[in-house]
Amino acid sequence: MNWQNLISNKRLGQEDRHALRHDDRSEFKRDSDRLIYSAPFRRLQNKTQVFPLPGSVFVHNRLTHSLEVASLGKSLGDDVARKLIKKHPELQGTLFEEIGTIVQTACYAHDMGNPPFGHSGEKAIQAFFTEGAGAYLKDKVSPRFWDDITHFEGNANAFRLLT
C-alpha cells in the first residue's frame, strides 16, 4: 500500500488546475467550512435527534448531534494520524496530517440526507408512496423518480445533497 497515494488535495477533474488562494486553508478545511455554511447542514437544526437513555429520553436537534459527533471524530482522526505518522515517519509533513479534518467533515455530513426518525423515517417515506396516500402519484412521475422515492435511502440522499 502506498500511503502517499491514499489522500490527495486535488479536486476530481481539476487535477491540473492551479487556483490562486489568498488563505492558508487546505482543500479539506475549505470543504469542511463549505459544508458548515451550507443550507442542508443548517437545516439539521430543525430535525429532532432522540436518544433513549435509561430513566429518561434525551432530545436535541441533529445539528447539535452532528457538531458533537464531528468534535469526537476530529479527535479520533487526529489520533489515528499521529499513530500512522509515528509508525511511518515518512508521512510527516504530508496530507496525512489532514485525517482529523477529513473525519470531522464526514461527521458533519453523516445525518444530512436522513429523514426525521432515521431508518424508521425511511420506511415511512417508502410506505407512504407504495401503500399510503402518495400511491396515486405513481403515474404522475417518471419511473426513475418513483423508484427513488419508493426505495428512499438517507445516505444516498446525503450523497445527492453533497454532490
- What local confidence, expressed as pLDDT, does residue 94 receive? 80
How far is residue 158's CA from residue 155's CA, in Å, rounded to a whole number? 5
Report the phi/psi class of residue 48: left, alpha or beta, with left for phi > 0 and alpha for psi in -120 to 50.
Answer: beta
- What local confidence, expressed as pLDDT, does residue 57 receive? 65
Q: What CATH code is carried by the domain that includes residue 64?
A: 1.10.3210.10
Tell which of 90, 112, 134 closes a domain. Answer: 112
The answer on 106 and 76 residing in a single domain is yes
- What local confidence, expressed as pLDDT, does residue 22 receive? 64
The answer on 67 and 49 residing in a single domain is yes
What is the number of domains present in the chain? 2
Tell me if 81 sits within 8 A of 104, measured CB to CB. no
The answer on 121 and 52 residing in a single domain is no
Q: Quick one: 121 exposed, middle or buried, by C-beta within 10 A (0-12, 13-18, 19+)? A: middle
Tell which of 112, 130, 152 closes a domain. Answer: 112
Domain ranges, residue 157? 116-163
The answer on 74 and 132 residing in a single domain is no
Residue 35 maps to a domain: yes
Residue 9 maps to a domain: no
pTM of the model: 0.77
Per-residue DSSP letter, 11: P
Residue 44 maps to a domain: yes
The answer on 131 and 103 residing in a single domain is no
Q: Quick one: 140 exposed, middle or buried, by C-beta within 10 A (0-12, 13-18, 19+)? A: exposed
User: Could you read off the pLDDT tens digit of each residue along the chain, which spans 163 residues?
Assistant: 676 677 877 777 766 666 556 667 888 999 999 999 999 999 999 887 766 666 666 677 889 999 999 999 999 999 999 998 999 898 888 888 899 999 999 999 998 988 877 778 889 999 999 999 999 999 999 999 999 999 999 888 888 888 8
The answer on 46 and 108 residing in a single domain is yes
The answer on 84 and 31 residing in a single domain is yes
Residue 40 maps to a domain: yes
Tell me the residue type at 44. L
The answer on 151 and 100 residing in a single domain is no
Report the phi/psi class of residue 54: left, alpha or beta, with left for phi > 0 and alpha for psi in -120 to 50.
Answer: beta
* Run of H or E residues at 60: strand 56-61
Helix %, strand %, coil % of the chain (to 5): 65, 5, 30
Residue 10 maps to a domain: no
